[in-house]
Amino acid sequence: MKQSKTHKGGLLNHLKAGSWRFSLAQHPPVRWAALAAVCAAIGASTLSIASIASLASQTERAAALSAAVEAMRPDTVRLADLTHTEIAALMRAGYDRVIVPTGGTEQNGYHMVLGKHNYVVRYTAEKIAREVGRTLVAPVMAYVPEGRISPPEGHMKFKGTLSLPEPVFEQVLEHTARSLIAHGFKHIFFIGDSGGNQKAQQRVAETLSRAFKNRGIQIANVSDYYAANGQQARLKAKGFRMAEIGSHAGIRDTSELLAVHPQGIRHRLLQQRDRFPSGFARTGMTGHPERATAEIGKEMLALKIEAGGRQIRRLLQEVEGKTSARAGIGAVKNIR
């Protein structure tokens, strides 16, 4: 019994820290009792010592452990922050959708860090996933097309930008989706926070949709998130002109980052804009980012989240409608 208490204390510390590994083959039955006691001690499961100890087969014990694992699963939709057993449990509970967010590593003027898109889309993708439900979020793709490397063009003319050729980016997207499909996910949604990602995402979604059309798999590019989110109209309604809004690293981009990652903004430089040269070729930005605020950023992010969530729900409804229609046809044939 002394050994059991000692093991109980060790497991308790690991469980509270959220970092533990448990192998069925390496732990004797006495430790199953210890695991149950720990679960009860931290309120993670209703499993009792007696119920665990009485399980004779490894299969039964594995099921009991799976229940304990599910009870201790962290409240996250990030694929990278879950274990494979937690993901399996979520899939059994109906999580059959994954958002694949894409950002970029590109220059954003003298006042904003290169990872802007990644911070923004990580935030919005998680919000959309929770709103839609039964949806997980893959890690953000930070390497995307940013222009020709040699001779450099576009953002590649500014230090630090990282660029992939479009075919390489498409291959990464495709094989990410194929991996998720191989694991059993049924709906894959690409969400891109950068305009340069949209065409490649659309091509890959169309290619994979054709490849998996007979398997009930849905792959789609959530284009409304970027192209039909109503941000420009909202800013114009606030009295901003397009020259003030800008198209890159201006009011919208700067406001969004102020809302989700304010330490990514060089505030002193932003307020000294008049001391710097103007024009995209010299500064890497357009518009008037000094007029950005976190409050505007929250509005802009909400519009993206609303547009993306609305399109995903519509896409899911379309699939459900087609499934119901096929089921109806099948029922009619059976009656005949």
Domain-wise residue ranges, the chain: 2-71, 79-328
E strands, 71-134, in order: 97-102
Burial environment of residue 252 by CB neighbours within 10 A (0 to 12, 13 to 18, 19 or more): buried
CATH code at 79-328: 3.40.50.10310
Report the C-alpha gap between 12 and 182 in whole angstroms. 35
pTM score, whole prediction: 0.79
* CA angle at 309 for the pair 304 and 313, rounded to the nearest 5°: 155
- Residue 320: the pLDDT is 84
Query: What is the chain's alpha carbon radius of gyration, rounded to the nearest angstrom?
Result: 25
The answer for residues whose C-beta is within 8 angstroms of residue 125's C-beta and 6 or more apart is 99, 101, 137, 140, 191
- Residue 219: the pLDDT is 98
> Which DSSP symbol is given to 78?
B
Structure tokens at 284: 């890497």
Torsion 43-44-49-51 (CA) sign:
positive
Report the C-alpha gap between 252 and 300 in whole angstroms. 7
Low-confidence ranges of the chain (pLDDT < 70): 1-73, 323-336
Report the C-alpha gap between 202 and 195 in whole angstroms. 12
Q: Report how many helices (DSSP H) and strands (DSSP E) the chain contains, helices first.
A: 15, 4
Length of the chain: 336
> Which is nearest to 69 in space by CA: 96, 105, 94, 44?
44
First to last CA, the chain: 69
Q: How far is CA 110 from the centre of its chain?
A: 28
> Which is nearest to 222 in space by CA: 308, 306, 122?
308
Report the C-alpha gap between 135 and 99 in whole angstroms. 7
Distances (CA, A) of 23 to 5, 28, 58, 315: 19, 10, 11, 41
- Residue 62: the pLDDT is 58
CB 121 within 8 A of CB 273: no
